[in-house]
Amino acid sequence: MMRYIKLYFKYAKLSIMSKLSYKSNTIIGILAFLFTEITSILTLFVIVSQVPSLEGWNMYQIGLLYGITNLAIGIDHFFTDKLWNVAYFEVRSGAMDSLFLRPLPVLFQTIACEIQLEALGEILTAIFLIVFCASNLTLMVNFANVLLLLIGIICASLLISSFKIIIASMAFAFKRTGPFLQIIYNFANYSKYPLTIFPKIIRFAFTFLIPLGLCIFYPVSNLFEPLNLGINIYLLMVIIILLSIIVFILSIFIWAHFAKKYESTGS
């Protein structure tokens, strides 16, 4: 395990050094993400400000949920952005050949070889939105609620990465799964909004099938008023952790299964 940790940091260092060798491109990329996120947030506030509340959620509550979800997405983006290239280009082009020839797990190399600094724009914007909205709300802040929220953010990032691994791995068999990954990613964006505004089937999907709502919506809701789920808050933490770990382990097995089908295209 320590060997892989050391290797990961070496890979990450090389990735960061590579990107910083073109500082202007990196800065422009970060600013571009920053501008995109700010534009999305301003659009959200303009729309939400036209109604007094949305299913009982006011503008700042929705903003807090939006920011926390974006933070989880930004963390995933920072660490696993390379999976997009696998889903779109690298299997079709044969660029994965070198990874299969090295005496290291291909998935480990794929994730470790690129740190996406552009995601800092996404993360910084999310943190600013969280602080701004939280300062305009009366929140139930205690150890259990904060711990639940932190666990939710980390597990949501892990779930997003897991689904990316699953979809990207299918490219080994089908050569290109990027569009399908984009569809899943776009669908996941709905978790930025209160689950209560969606039909029951969508709420079910975000709670059990793509459980980002379980990781984000319920912990955020708990900051406003105690959850009434019929279970202890610490039990909810255990459920979120176990579910995210199970999905992650499943994604590794699926990756290993499809990796056996890899054939270099050479084109």
> What SS3 state is found at 138?
coil
pLDDT reading at 267 higher than 90: no
Residue 225 contacts residue 139 (beta carbons within 8 Å): no
| pLDDT tens per residue, range 72-123 | 999 999 999 899 999 998 888 888 888 888 888 999 999 988 888 888 888 9
| pLDDT tens per residue, range 145-172 | 999 999 999 999 999 999 999 999 999 9
Token pair 């150890």 is at which residue?
143
- CA–CA separation, 255 and 257 (whole Å): 5
Other beta carbons less than 10 A from residue 203's beta carbon = 16
- CA–CA separation, 166 and 143 (whole Å): 34
Residue 121 contacts residue 30 (beta carbons within 8 Å): yes
What integer pLDDT is reported at residue 51 of this predicted model? 67
Residue 125 contacts residue 63 (beta carbons within 8 Å): no
Report residue 60: phi and psi, to 5°: -75, -35
| pLDDT tens per residue, range 201-216 | 888 888 888 888 889 9
Contacts of 96 (CB under 8 A, 6+ apart): 86, 90, 106, 262, 264
Token pair 């301003």 is at which residue?
42
What integer pLDDT is reported at residue 230 of this predicted model? 65
pTM: 0.89
Contacts of 209 (CB under 8 A, 6+ apart): none
